[in-house]
Amino acid sequence: MEEKRERIKNLTEQLNQASEAYYGGKEEVISNYEWDAMFDELAALEYETGYILPDSPTQNTGFEEAENGEKEEHEFPALSLAKTKQIGQLQEWAGEYPVWLSWKLDGLTLVLTYDGGKLTKILTRGNGTVGTNITFLKSALKGFPLTVSYQGHMVVRGEAAISYTDFEMINDMLEDGDEKYANPRNLASGTLNLDDPAKVKERHVTFHAFTLVYLEEEIISWGERMQFLEDHGFTVVDREKLNARELPEAVERWTKRVENGKMDIPVDGLVLCYDDTDFASSGSVTGHHATRAGYAFKWQDEAVDTRLSYIEWSCAVSAISPVAVFEPVQIEGTTVSRASLCNLSEIERLGLGKECTLSVIKANKIIPKCIAVKDARGTVEIPKTCPVCHAPTKVCESAGSGTKTLHCTNPDCTAKNVKKFTRFVSKWGMDIDGLSIQTILKFINAGYIHEFADIYHLYRHFDTISQMEGFGEKSVENMNKSIEKSRKVSGANFIYALCIPLIGTDAGKRLVNSIGFDAFLQRLENGEGFEDIDGIGAERSSSMHQWYADEKNRQALKNLLQELDIEHTKPKNAPEGLCTGLNFVITGDVHYFKNRDEFKAYVESQGGRVTGSVSKKTDYLVNNDVESASSKNRKAKELGVPVISEDTFVDKFVRQEMEG
């Protein structure tokens, strides 16, 4: 008995440490697979012995997700759901009642409160009773409206998540000093701990409503409540109404959606809830969950053993990351041969050897992950030089978590400058489809790309690329078409693609429209300034010449010009229109135009100018919330600048043009 009590203490301590890291956006301590196995063992021991510690994870909902912000008590406790891996238990729970099946998203639970048609509060789930107020991030998150037509008191609960696509992009683009995140949920948690809303917004955290907790109007049906949220502008989880008999087929069908790679949003299971919300709320509370609030279904992870072939070292912006390459195995219907090891600490935690057997799963049915090592022999060799530029490497240890990562010491390493390549191929630059951050990094690590012009020589490697994982003849063919199409480009887009500091799309347009592309090149060569061009100024002019003074940049430009056909080499006359001579600042959401870029393009087509900040030169600030207390609105009022809505702009500058 004493031995079992000691095991309960050890399991409780390990699980709580893992949960603290999991909910706090820190380095992952153990995998979900390992956590579930330990949790099940703990629950079984507690049931057998009756010995339950006060801080047992079977009795608590988790740890506080956000470290910053004031703590507040939830109006309605955010309890955990009971979990099962058996479909039969789902059917038994459903009984004769109509139920809804939806995703169990792998993110952070947030609770939104609305009063008088406005969002008044955002709380993290916290420990289920007390959460952290992060309302200051309301404009940095997506998936919910800031205002609704409903004027009563309303409470909405949902999951804040980051897609796999954004996770891979953000993880690869993190600056030096930041640690890579183990998964999208880990990244979302770390993101909501940031103090800067602008940085949070860059990471595309999206709120997915999964229940309407409270509404002053009487809506009993859970399905109708979700439709109410969708009608009011919320991003809502996918859902399907069914009965107990239909559950096995539905669970299998939903699971295949994940296995077939059709889910970009991270999910770690399914959720079942009753359509009758009155019945659902009438259950008791056991431990840390309500018995009728919902039932979570988690997949049984299939672990497969395979032999390690070698460790591949992949260089990115922030670190050189190890990847386990092993003998191909079938896991849940797909062939897997690679799994990221994240960092040096993960290699140590697993006890990886130069030769060993790996136990591999597909975490959340998506990401291959090594969960255990057997028969390890020898020591993993840490590269002394960077795999891309061959400069010396160094091991860094995080002061906070102690995580060890490997870094290239060369600040000019091509892999560290991948941001420049992503800007080069972006739609505002050369507009080349098929070259994502991950693809560019793969080509950099393979030695195919060292400078921009190398993109136009990728055809030399197409035979090899078509054999790479994730590629094929069709994808290579499409990539080639996009690259060839980009050879003809406007001067403004090309200038932006060069990644000259301080020179964005607006500056590129001003340069080309004022003096033409040929004159732009001549001035660079002759050392002539650009201060005479409206909107450029001495600082931008100096930046262009400093950039051109670097021999590497001059050679890169020369090599590119041999590959491309630059359009618009002559200056264009400034357009004449209803906005001629007027300066606008556009802020907030728009509805008449598709987005602010389209709005800006229209203003410029009518001879106007759009800037990012309000000044004495501003003629109009366009903001659909004209009474907003935002800094731009306050600045405009101080300077006497008219604040107009988008509708007013349309009446004044669009319809007048159409009628004219």
| Contact (CB, 8 A) for 89 and 137 | no
Minimal CA–CA distance to 14: which of 51, 48, 65, 53?
Answer: 53
| Contact (CB, 8 A) for 262 and 103 | no
| Contact (CB, 8 A) for 440 and 426 | no
Helix (H, G, I), strand (E, B) or coil at 522: helix
Laid out side by side, the sheet with 643-644 consists of 609-611, 583-587, 620-623, 643-644
Report the chain's terminal Cα–Cα distance, integer Å.
90
Q: For 400, list phi and psi in degrees, rounded to 5.
A: -80, -60
* Tokens coding 412: 């000019």
* Tokens coding 490: 């406007």
The single-letter code of the amino acid at 63 is: F
- B/e letters for 357-367, b = 16+ CB within 10 Å, e = fewer, are bbbbbbbbbbb
Residues 448, 449, 452, 453, Cα dihedral to 10°: -20
Region at 76 (left for phi over 0; alpha for psi -120 to 50; beta for the rest): beta
Helix (H, G, I), strand (E, B) or coil at 71: strand
| Contact (CB, 8 A) for 169 and 117 | no
Please state, in angstroms and rounded to a whole number, the distance separating the CA atoms of residues 34 and 46. 18
Please state, in angstroms and rounded to a whole number, the distance separating the CA atoms of residues 105 and 84. 16
**Does 420 qualify as catalytic in the annotation?**
no
| Contact (CB, 8 A) for 591 and 646 | yes
Q: For 371, list phi and psi in degrees, rounded to 5.
A: -110, -15
Q: Which helix (H) or strand (E) holds 611?
A: strand 609-611
Q: Is residue 255 classed exposed, middle or buried when 0-12, 13-18 and 19+ CB atoms within 10 A define those classes?
A: middle
Catalytic residue, candidates 26, 104, 180, 509: 104
How far is C-alpha 207 from the chain's CA centre? 12
Please state, in angstroms and rounded to a whole number, the distance separating the CA atoms of residues 502 and 496. 10
Minimal CA–CA distance to 211: which of 202, 221, 203?
Answer: 221
Alpha-helical segments (H) within 446-488: 462-465, 473-485
Helix (H, G, I), strand (E, B) or coil at 324: strand
Active site residues: 104
